[in-house]
Structure 1
Amino acid sequence: MRRRPAASHPGSRGVLAPRANNQPNAPCPVRAHKNKNGPRKGPKIRRILMKIYCVISHTHWDREWYLPFEQFRLKLVDLIDRCLLTMKKYPEFIFHLDAQTVVLEDYLAVRPGKRQQLEQHIQEGRLVIGPWYLQNDLYLTSGEATVRNLLEGSRICREFGGEPCPVGYLPDQFGNISQLPQILSGFGIHSVVFGRGYTFFNPDKTRKPTKSEFIWKGPDGTEALAIHMKYWYNNAQRFSDNIDTAMRLLDRTAELFQDVALTPYLLLMNGVDHLEAQDGLLPILEQLNARLPEGDRVEQIRLDEYIRRVKEHVEESGTQLPVYQGELRNGSDWDILKGTLSSRAYLKAANVAAQDMLESTLEPLYSMLYYHGGRNAYSLDHFRFQWKRLMQNHPHDSICGCSRDEVHAHMEDNYARIQEASGDLLERGLNILAQHMPAPEDALYQVTVVNTTEITRSGPARVTMDLLDSDKVGNFTLTDQNGVPVGFTVLNAAPARRDVFSPINLPGVLDVQRYQLEVYVKDLPPFSARTYYLKPQNGPCPLPEEIGSIPGLLENEFLSVSVDQAGHVDLTDKRTGTRYPNLLELEDSADWGDSYVYYPGEEAPITTGGLSGHVGGWRQEAFRQSCEITWDLSLPAGFDFEAKRRSPETVSCPASLRLTLERGRPYLEIGYEIQNQAKDHRVRLLVHTGVETAESLADIPFDLVAHSKEDQCPFTMSPVLPNSTFAMLRGEKETAAVFTAGAHEYEHLEGGTLAFTLLRATGVISRGSDGRFTNGDTWLCPDNQCLRTMKGRFAAAFFAPGEDHRAFALAKTFRVPVLAWATACDSRKFSGGRPAVQDSDLAELFYLPDQNPDLRVPDSQPMVQVEGAGLCVTALKGAEDGEGLILRVVNLSDKAVEGKIACKGELTPCALSENPSGAPQRDQIVRTFGPKEIFTVRIS
């Protein structure tokens, strides 16, 4: 959140007010590529005379922000304790818990004995919860994460005997994704109440007038009633006990809404961040009603009741609301807080890795086990636990990187814990799958490869294989089920000791020969597995080659990359002959802003284009070629805030790019590493595609959006844009795309260049608009300078005309590798451990029975096939009720697509809530997928 000290007035947030929402001189770029001039206007509406003041008592609960989670939890316990007392005192009192349910878990962890009271008030409709699990950022988390957020929030609401409040309440998200109307509709929610993203400016920088009620239309055509909290979610933060003063608040509210509201129902938000319920509110409202003119009234109600009344009035009066289509990301730098796309970039990378592991690896892997007979292998509880742990890193103040250092340190620990559990689940799943694939009777060892994505895969896969010394295998080759040799290379081989752990034996250790292998996988179908078998041979195993001299060239069947001795990179697409000269460059510039907003300096950026780098590390392997370009960058040590310029002192910041081409993969992988020792600056990767076009395209959750450079407000300090996993430029002859793995901020520069932020180093949560830091020490965050080694990956890919619909799936294959697992064909070899009684006739090892006796995984047979240009799989998971599997696809095209989903079994269309929405079909669904349609099907 962007908070600045500000004078209290209607629409401000007092000492925690966001500057932009209430300051008329703040600049604002128009962000949506549709409706760039604001909403489509309806007919002129007569002035509303009667006024119904609808008071929504609430708190906006950031679990962590300027205090760590545990300190805020203590305040949450105080808040709910006192709220329960208020509810006991006033049996009609209503309170909203910020549309979240995680707060119930947080509270009950300390006060478990209060559950019955909470359940009672929730069932009475007085304590309003849901539909969310928590208030996540919508651009920095995946579309699936938002769906799981709603699934979990709805589940918890029902656990407490209530129903989720059917309003998409989004008080402080830093922009709202275009597909929210469709996502919410999938849960039976057809309204949105939001705070940011709906501010438009005229050419003279004055604000365009907007109404507080409008129709928000999603890219698929789904419509939602939208309520803009134009005067923020604290416009009635607390009513004065002095009734004259309280009346002036109502009068001021009526004045502000006079030409804004299209119905008599005026939304008064009674609360703000972390504020407790106003204990004496209802008697104050009673006194105000005695003073109001005839026909007017003020009352405390539920948010969904407010929505019901607005809808009813619109329908009965025939009022035509304005219509807006597109993302709600319109506003100034301080409205949308675009700098949070890149603050603490290491958190974003960790989040994408965790999401990909759950969404695109573990869930599809275990779904394959479930489908082929291993129902016992799929534990919904494990996955629900992992998702909740991950979502607890998704609140906007957390994943946006705009909180105290302690908060983000705890997030890193949480990501580490998620990774530990996910890694173990991955090994378990692969081992179960490998042991249930067909194998020749004489086979000793096997390598199993698994494709958990929706497209056929080719390319190298790395795996560690242990061979027992007692088996005396020697040299070997790998063959497929038909005995055909498979290409592989040995990257490393050495003796090792393998620890063995068993749940029913003591830990043991085995002497093994440990091989690091790279196996070439060719044409592995979607959602399928294949096993290769070890076969002893007399000849030596193939080894990789390290090149001593500098060849200057990387090459595979798709691309050719030349790198000169200074580090300049030229790429040629061998399929089209198109050349992309001087493809890559690093750029460093001043950033004297904060965790929310990038403030550029006046000095020209420093780039590597004019520097001579060192090129080395050339490797020529069977399936991979790579090299590394390094620079010892001398960068200003920081920023002189008095002189408003970068420091004359410099520090060394070694930086490198690792370029890799792999056989079978039509993209250049670009790994980067920066040893950051400088402060107050931004580092970007520039990809000079040379594709001249007025628009850039980027994926955001469940959508592919176009952004024109002309839509950018010329006075924004930072014309950056969001992307989830790729951005691209579509020209007349080719499309150039850049795949990302956690970098969510890009800019479309002149000359067909895409600039991706790798690092943004600042040391405070928030500054004034003049760059001065006037807050107390609470708002310092020195670790946000990111004085650490920053690493990450990109890939550059190129498409012929009409082929870039493959970008989403190809970007997924860049982030999600083909899985590989090596083990003994006899599962007992590595599962025994050590007997309890040693060196006697009683020594015995025990083995668990097969937990999945009906599991049979066929070799190279796809479980599911999805056909149709632009159709992309976002989920293959267990159903929430434990009955069957859920497959979700989205049509990212803005045109209808004829497509097919093929999977043996009963296929039932359902909503995002997983409730059925259509008649079941057998083995396949052939249908027209509407533009930008999200389609979900249950497999049973």
Structure 2
Amino acid sequence: MSKKKAHIISHTHWDREWYLPYEKHHMRLISLVDSLLDKLDAGTEFKSFYMDGQTIILEDYLQVRPEQRERLEKHIKDGRIIIGPWYILQDAFLTSSEANVRNMQVGHHDAKRYGVPAKVGYYPDTFGLTGQTPQLMKQSGINNVFFGRGVKPTGFNNMVSDSGYESSFSELIWEGPDGSKVLGILFANWYSNGNEVPVDEQEAKAYWERKLADAEKYASTGELLFMNGVDHQPVQLDLPEAIETAKKLYPEVEFIHSNFPDYIDAVEQAVDRELSSVRGELRSQRTDGWGTLVNTASARIYLKQMNQKGQALLEKVAEPLASLADLLGKPYPHHTFTYAWKTLMQNHPHDSICGCSVDEVHREMVTRFDKSRHVTETIIDDSKQTIADAVDTTVFSKYGEDPVPLVAFNTSGWDRSGVISVEVDAARLYFRENLGLEETTRRMSSVDLSGRVLVDAEGNVIPCTVEDLGLLFGYDLPDDKFRQPYSCRRVRLTFEAANVPALGLKTFAWVRSSAAASASASAKTSLLAGSRTLENGKLKVEIADNGSFTLTDKQTGRVYRDLGIYENVGDIGNEYMFRQPDGEEALTTRGLKADINVIEDTPYRASVEIVHHWEIPASADEKLDQEQRELIWYPNRKAQRSKELIPFTIRTIVSLSKNGKGVSIETSFNNQAKDHRLRALFPTDLQAAVHNVDSMFEIAKRDTVPAEEWENPSNTQHQQAFVDVSETGAGLTVANLGLNEYEVLRDGRNTIAVTLLRATGELGDWGLFPTPEAQCLGEHTVHMEVIPHNGDGIRSGAYAEAYQFQIPWTAAQTGVHAGSVTPDYAPLAWNGQELAFSSLKVSEESGDLMFRWYNMDSSSAELSFAFKPVNGSYYKSNILEEQGEALQPANDGSLTLPVGPCEIVTVGVSK
């Protein structure tokens, strides 16, 4: 038998912010890196240090110590400080598919400035892992994943329990849904199992006797891994001396100051037995369910909403618009995108986006979300105006001297219809005209808004609601002169844009036309079939006295009842985990009469307002404070809800549009209660043992009934865009905006429960950290869409509809002018029923257009597409946008490409 080898890897796990605000952790980081550089400068006995897999640490350090760049670069190039592959260590379930890709791209890009990025799939403390992680690793040139959670639970103070294994060893084979396989290394004794190695022989003997046995208990080979570091742990500077002590005590073991690449090579060479295979998501499925940290998905939901908006604007609006503008000659702003993405991703570490830090951390996150969004909106404004000003709008010149053209952009990957609102200026007067404020005001106030209608490029009148916003001040910021202030008369136009092509545009104009106005007036229709019934060609919605609604899918004949009831229960847990008080009966609006009123009745949309005047307990009782102070683990708490009741009013707007495939729900409330959870309930009454849920590049299939080891009464889980329950012939999809927690209830009705609010007052984990702002007091508004279908969410288009729900419409006003872009324009045409479109951007490395899709299905598919403006070459790429296999288009320029089951496919198009 070969000699056992103890690989001791120096590292620190660096949460940028958590139980301390960012800057307090930041200052400790400066001291850590200073001491590391001094140690490395002193000699070569201290071999190397792993910088936690995230290049942002380098930015954070050099922000304060820029003069140390040369020293830092030297040790990175010498391989003694190992960096990458990520920009940050993100949460896997609460960050979007493309955010995970950008994280890898930015991490690699930044690491290459210093040296070579480590090909280490590093997830030391991520709260579970998504099923497509192996494929993302393989597409990044990484053949391994190191992780600490998801296969077995961790308990109090990050100590790993011995129950609930899904793998025989700490080494395993992890397979993704597409068949990608990587070597998985589970930190079976946590990522601190080699922390603070003693130099003293007596202490070292006791230490290594225990540590060696723990490692051998789970290792499949004699290559034993010891992680010398943990959260915010300073560098152990005397580690070389400690290793020498260990060598003296255990000559039969080879102790080395190792690194991840060497350890991986050693394990791959040493494995001589079949390893356990784990397939798909790692969510601690085979555990008692109390330590999964899954309810971070509902902690501080306002953060999740801001993140959803920021991600959608960047990846689904700004990037495709900037790509199209690039084709028109406006250079793609790579540097600006990188800044926006980095600012957004600084909110993506698990202790940040999970909402499980102290209040100061999350206040700073709100600022970062705003900053990233402001940059993104600037890119969107510049790009959409470039495109709009290139559209040939001369077709509207026949309507007189003052048509107001506007361009509606569909930046999703599918044709789209939907209601949009656009603010346009009917007239402007710039202050440079020197008319004086009084005359300027008089002229703008007297602008005639009558006799106008909205038309498309073919002259069809589009039903439209006009809201006069009155006299407003505005300004331009030209690139070649000083700011240009003006006074304007602004209106808001609301209408349904029908059949706007994927990644394309459709042009309209608000024009003067008496004939068109007459046609518009005679075309008045309604989607109301009574004061509480909304109906279009596909759906019928009937609202009951208690505010719930019955939804009839006209295409299948299936009827769904009791949708939209609200449920409220107590929560005596923490930011990490929900815990309902023992014996508590849930409160619901089932027996509560609601105020119901029609608030919108137009040819393109009908909306009904539902108001519930409710009362709920003000908080938990006093025992919760006592149990928190005594650090009683949340499953063992006995607190109940307070007897005091306070008002809790919920306002719901249920809307149905003319071409709508689903029912839109907007829910708003002012939360003044503490220690509770609010959910919306959607009974499906469908027979299914599993359900489908949107995750990273995957429609994950999950069991509704958990494994037999599961003890937690709650079985809440993560979602991205939607959750779906289906049976043969019928299905119900519930889409959301930033509501990342759901549960399919075991209530005999397969009810989809979506968490709208979770209010709690402590961080949790290893001590008492009060977080009063996590009670989320104040105004909240959430959005959902309920989409029935024929039982096949992919091929019915229900999932595409749910993805489009994530993406806001974009519009821009322009003038009457000639242009190179037609009024109805779509440069990309593609087909692939099983595929979801994910991304269009321009590669910084090559300048090529990069298109990405993924197969939603577990069977093979085919992608066909053509991109009209480009006559360049096509090639298959990966998530790092590296050029791969050349693809040969047909004579007409179209391309057909086979796509494997659950494959993520990226196609590069040179310009």
TM-score when scaled to structure 1?
0.87
Q: 1:254 corresponds to which residue? A: 212
Distance 1:261 1:205 in 2: 14
CA contact (8 A) 2:413 2:838 kept: no
Q: 1:742 corresponds to which residue? A: 738
Distance 2:18 2:548 in 1: 43
Distance 1:473 1:614 in 2: 36
Structure 1 residue ranges without an equivalent (≥5)? 1-47, 769-774, 828-854
CA contact (8 A) 1:547 1:618 kept: no
Q: 1:913 corresponds to which residue? A: 880
Matched letter for residue 539 of structure 2? L
Matched letter for residue 564 of structure 1? A
Matched letter for residue 886 of structure 1? M
| Alignment partner of 1:636 out of 597, 602, 617 | 617
Deviation at 1:704, TM superposition (A): 1.0
Distance 1:322 1:387 in 2: 37
Matched letter for residue 490 of structure 2? R
Q: 2:770 corresponds to which residue? A: 780
Distance 1:63 1:687 in 2: 39
Q: 1:765 corresponds to which residue? A: 763
Q: 1:387 corresponds to which residue? A: 341
Matched letter for residue 445 of structure 1? V
Within-5 A mapping of 1:414-433 = 414-433=368-387
CA contact (8 A) 1:55 1:299 kept: yes
Q: 1:29 corresponds to which residue? A: none
TM-score when scaled to structure 2?
0.89
Change (3 A) 1:438 1:219: same
Is it true that 1:700 corresponds to 2:695 in the alignment? yes
Deviation at 1:366, TM superposition (A): 1.3
Within-5 A mapping of 1:318-329 = 318-329=272-283
| Alignment partner of 1:446 out of 377, 390, 405 | 405
Q: 1:178 corresponds to which residue? A: 131
Deviation at 1:365, TM superposition (A): 1.1
Distance 2:136 2:42 in 1: 39
Change (3 A) 1:497 1:110: closer
1:335-376 deviation line (CA, Å, top 9, x unaligned): 3211101100110011011100011111111112223x3242
Deviation at 1:252, TM superposition (A): 1.6
Q: SS state of the match for residue 357, structure 2?
A: coil
What is the aligned-residue RMSD (CA, Å)? Answer: 2.4
Is it true that 1:726 corresponds to 2:729 in the alignment? no
Q: Which stretch of the first structure deviates more once superposed, 48-57 or 72-81?
A: 48-57
Deviation at 1:558, TM superposition (A): 1.6
Distance 1:207 1:739 in 2: 33
Q: SS state of the match for residue 894, structure 1?
A: coil
Distance 1:328 1:572 in 2: 37
| Alignment partner of 1:934 out of 894, 904, 907 | 904
Q: 1:302 corresponds to which residue? A: 259
CA contact (8 A) 2:152 2:163 kept: no
CA contact (8 A) 1:657 1:670 kept: yes
Deviation at 1:193, TM superposition (A): 0.9
Within-5 A mapping of 1:849-888 = 856-888=820-852
| Alignment partner of 1:462 out of 418, 421, 425 | 421
Distance 2:29 2:710 in 1: 43
Is it true that 1:54 corresponds to 2:36 in the alignment? no
Q: 1:340 corresponds to which residue? A: 296
Change (3 A) 1:280 1:921: same
| Alignment partner of 2:470 out of 494, 498, 518 | 494
Structure 2 residue ranges without an equivalent (≥5)? 155-160, 398-402, 429-442, 624-637
Deviation at 1:808, TM superposition (A): 3.2
Is it true that 1:903 corresponds to 2:856 in the alignment? no
CA contact (8 A) 1:560 1:571 kept: yes
Q: 1:219 corresponds to which residue? A: 177
Q: SS state of the match for residue 106, structure 1?
A: helix
CA contact (8 A) 1:550 1:618 kept: no
Change (3 A) 1:621 1:743: same
Distance 1:737 1:678 in 2: 30
Distance 2:462 2:603 in 1: 12
Q: 2:787 corresponds to which residue? A: 797
The count of corresponding residues between Structure 1 and Structure 2 is: 849
Deviation at 1:690, TM superposition (A): 1.7
Deviation at 1:243, TM superposition (A): 2.0
Change (3 A) 1:194 1:862: same
Change (3 A) 1:920 1:547: closer
Q: 1:620 corresponds to which residue? A: 601
Deviation at 1:422, TM superposition (A): 2.2
Is it true that 1:281 corresponds to 2:239 in the alignment? yes
Is it true that 1:269 corresponds to 2:269 in the alignment? no
Distance 1:886 1:925 in 2: 15
Change (3 A) 1:865 1:500: same
Q: What percentage of aligned pairs have identical amino acids?
A: 32
Is it true that 1:350 corresponds to 2:341 in the alignment? no
1:606-627 deviation line (CA, Å, top 9, x unaligned): 0001111111243202211001
Distance 1:785 1:526 in 2: 41
| Alignment partner of 2:145 out of 177, 192, 199 | 192
1:422-479 deviation line (CA, Å, top 9, x unaligned): 2232222221111101121773431111111111112322111112267867522333
Distance 1:55 1:103 in 2: 22
Within-5 A mapping of 1:571-586 = 571-586=551-566
1:162-182 deviation line (CA, Å, top 9, x unaligned): 111111011000001111110
Q: 1:26 corresponds to which residue? A: none
Distance 2:592 2:335 in 1: 54
Deviation at 1:641, TM superposition (A): 5.0
Q: 1:71 corresponds to which residue? A: 24
Matched letter for residue 288 of structure 1? A
Q: Which stretch of the first structure deviates more once superposed, 550-559 or 321-330?
A: 550-559
Within-5 A mapping of 1:470-869 = 474-492=450-468, 494-538=470-514, 551-601=531-581, 602-640=583-621, 642=623, 644-712=639-707, 713-749=709-745, 750=747, 751-766=749-764, 775-776=767-768, 779-805=769-795, 806-825=797-816, 856-869=820-833
CA contact (8 A) 1:58 1:272 kept: yes
Distance 2:799 2:281 in 1: 20
Deviation at 1:597, TM superposition (A): 0.9
Q: SS state of the match for residue 711, structure 1?
A: coil
Q: 1:370 corresponds to which residue? A: 326
1:626-680 deviation line (CA, Å, top 9, x unaligned): 0111112211111125362110111112112210111212100111112111111
Distance 2:84 2:765 in 1: 33
1:527-586 deviation line (CA, Å, top 9, x unaligned): 111222343223659699999997111122221111134323111112222221211110
Distance 1:453 1:379 in 2: 21
Change (3 A) 1:336 1:475: same
CA contact (8 A) 1:547 1:619 kept: no
Q: SS state of the match for residue 824, structure 1?
A: coil
Distance 1:903 1:861 in 2: 12
Distance 1:910 1:781 in 2: 45
Distance 1:733 1:873 in 2: 26
Is it true that 1:411 corresponds to 2:374 in the alignment? no
Distance 1:177 1:508 in 2: 50
1:739-763 deviation line (CA, Å, top 9, x unaligned): 0111111111121210011111110
